[in-house]
Amino acid sequence: MSQLDFSVVFDNLPYLWQGLRFSLLLTAVAFAAGMVLGTGLALLQHLEVPVGAQLARGYVALIRSIPLILVLFWFFFLVPLMLGALMNGGRPMPIGGVWTAFITFSLFEAAYYSEIIRVGLRSVSKGQYEAAQALSLSTYKTYRFVILPQVVRVTSPIILNQTIILFQDTSLVYVLSLTDLVGAASKLAQLNGRLVEMYLAVAAVYLVICCTASQLVAYLRRRTQLNQNR
């Protein structure tokens, strides 16, 4: 331990911060897009939309049974070939690592958020739907103003917990040679020969962020239980 030199970490904070910003941005975009797409998938199943419900179930089952890293590889290597065959005379159309990461993470997380929202929809009492019908609310307004706000409030701890997992999974973009927090630390470690210091610093950052978010999850769970007991 006496041989550890963390000065290399402090000297490269701007580069590490750049990697952390990318990780946080990827998390935020995948969360927002995943929630929107996931809510749509959940509603298709909940409302039993013909064909759409079956397609949504198949998509969720497929994505949830495949590792994220494999989906990243598929999208990065296969989609350019498919786009090239359709629109570029057979020549591959490169998408790039950044777009691959943002699109893949969004589509992947949509399946998980979909299941959370779907379970939340089933937890809403029938009286809420009946009250909305009594007020002559349309299906859109019923879900937009009555049902979905309750679902998000009830499932917020689980949603946040899934988002913590999402943040941790952003480290997988190293396979695309992108500079996230782990990627930045890895490049600096190889350059300076200070692997232990760099990876300890990264572990500390993940620990602080994830522990803080976990405390928020615990708070939301307590608050949700108090609201349900009233």
- Please indicate, yes or no, if residue 179 is contained in any of the structural domains: yes
- Please indicate, yes or no, if residue 2 is contained in any of the structural domains: no
161: domain CATH number is 1.10.3720.10
Q: Which domain holds residue 52?
A: 7-229
146: pLDDT strictly greater than 80: yes
- Please indicate, yes or no, if residue 1 is contained in any of the structural domains: no
User: Residue 73: exposed, middle, or buried by beta-carbon count in 10 A (0-12, 13-18, 19+)?
Assistant: middle
Query: What digits encode the pLDDT tens for the residues 102-120?
Result: 999 999 999 999 999 999 9
- Please indicate, yes or no, if residue 215 is contained in any of the structural domains: yes
- Please indicate, yes or no, if residue 128 is contained in any of the structural domains: yes
Query: What digits encode the pLDDT tens for the residues 184-216?
Result: 999 888 888 888 889 999 999 999 999 999 898
Residues 6+ apart with CB under 8 A from 49: 43
pTM: 0.90
**Of residues 72, 77, 82, 44, the one with CA closest to residue 60:** 44
pLDDT the model gives residue 228? 60
Average pLDDT, rounded, for the chain: 89
Is residue 90 left, alpha or beta, with left meaning phi > 0 and alpha meaning psi from -120 to 50?
Answer: left
225: pLDDT strictly greater than 80: no
Tokens matching residue 193: 């020969």
